[in-house]
Structure 1
């Protein structure tokens, strides 16, 4: 009988330690890189992420459809607008943002693929414990598959694979992440953007890749 009780206690303990879907910190600052399977998009960006105010700032450079680009954009999802900022010329364009805001999180219906150590578990500080999840999201243009890896402690994003019919697989890698906003002012439109008039957005604008989150 004691053996059975011990077995039950151990089983409950194991189940309690099983990873659960999580949400990343609402305020993050860091860098990321993105590449698409169809080779249309390759980019590197510094980002500020505010899930509370549904705001994202991206300062990026890369290539899209065989053309290089440098962009500094502020995405304000609550207002449904996107600012393209040119600090050198102190000019700003304002365009509609139709994409929905998706917080950095692991959906509740995601399936756990596994838990591994990135690096080494041989000594302290030599590796990071991460969880990898998979699932499917219902987007405006149809279902999209994803596979996301986050740290086991803190739910900090590490990488995300996202599949759409248009672009195939898109790979995003996160690094140099800091919890909080290093410079909160970067999520506020510069003063020279105040007079910007709302323009028509191009459908192939590369900055919209961030709506996968």
Structure 2
């Protein structure tokens, strides 16, 4: 009985702790959808995220300005390169990457909007405890980010862009770790890839 009381007190103390900004796991994989306020862009992607090696792989399909596209991009931030991979033709395009690596995290200066349960809190296992944060990026653009209370796994991010208005990304089927690390290396047929025009992050969700 005393053990049960002690356990209940421990759980109550944990629940009473104030959420703090956090960083997602260094190795993460899963799926995401991305949509823009002006309805010009919608995309679905499988992603691999490696904060240790500063590498991201996006295998995506979607619509941009009412035209469909598919895209497979490997972003190597330490080398400032993007490989656009075409497995069907065994070809690659190599482009300079004009953006710095930013780890997936809740910024330290973010403000807590609130804590909520996604789903139901009626019974164990029916809901997910999440924290929602808000703030402004260095360019003064507002953002809202939601992560799980335990593990700091991304649930959704929203931030305002000049070109698209609000851009909303929803994450699901997240798994801590990467089952095949080789997917974060350029395929052998990319060794002879010719340099193309530089690219920024947003153009990775456009047509090729």
5+ residue gaps, structure 1: 1-12
* Matches of 2:108 and 2:201, distance apart in 1: 31
* Larger deviation, residues 32-41 vs 198-207: 198-207
Q: Structure 1 residues 189-198 or 13-22, which shifts more?
A: 13-22
Aligned partner of 1:5 in structure 2 is: none
Report the number of matched residues. 194
1:19-168 equivalences under 5 Å are: 19-138=19-138, 142-168=139-165
Q: Is 1:181 equivalent to 2:158 in the alignment? A: no
Measure the CA separation in 2 of the matches of 1:153 and 1:15. Answer: 11
Note if contact 2:98-2:198 (Cα within 8 Å) is conserved in structure 1. no
Conserved in 2, the CA contact under 8 Å of 1:29 and 1:180? yes
Distance across 1 between alignment mates of 2:119 and 2:15: 26
Alpha carbons 1:81, 1:94 under 8 Å: kept: yes
CA distance in 2, matches of 1:48, 1:205: 17
Please say if residues 99 and 208 of structure 1, whose CA atoms lie closer than 8 Å, have aligned partners that are also in contact: no
Q: Aligned partners of 2:172, 2:198: CA distance in 1, in Å?
A: 30
Deviation at 1:90, TM superposition (A): 0.7
Structure 2: distance between partners of 1:24 and 1:204:
20
CA distance, structure 1, for counterparts of residue 85 and residue 14 of structure 2:
51
Q: Structure 1 segments of 4 or more deviating over 6 A?
A: 13-16
Quick one: structure 1 residues 205 and 133, their matched pair in 2 at CA, closer, same or farther if it must change by over 3 Å? closer
**TM-score, normalising length from structure 2?**
0.88
Displacement of 1:166 in angstroms is: 2.0
Secondary structure in structure 1 of the residue aligned to 2:140:
strand
Deviates more, 1:157-166 or 1:53-62: 157-166
3-state DSSP of counterpart to 2:137: strand
Deviation at 1:104, TM superposition (A): 0.6
Aligned to 2:169: 172
Q: Check 1:36–1:59 CA distance in 2 against 1; reply closer, same or farther (3 A cut).
A: same
SS of structure 2 residue aligned to 1:78: helix
Q: Please tell me the root mean square deviation across aligned C-alpha atoms, in Å.
A: 1.9
Quick check: 1:159–1:172 contact (8 Å CA) kept in 2? yes
Q: Relative to 1, partners in 2 of residues 1:35 and 1:109: Cα closer, same or farther, differing over 3 Å? A: same
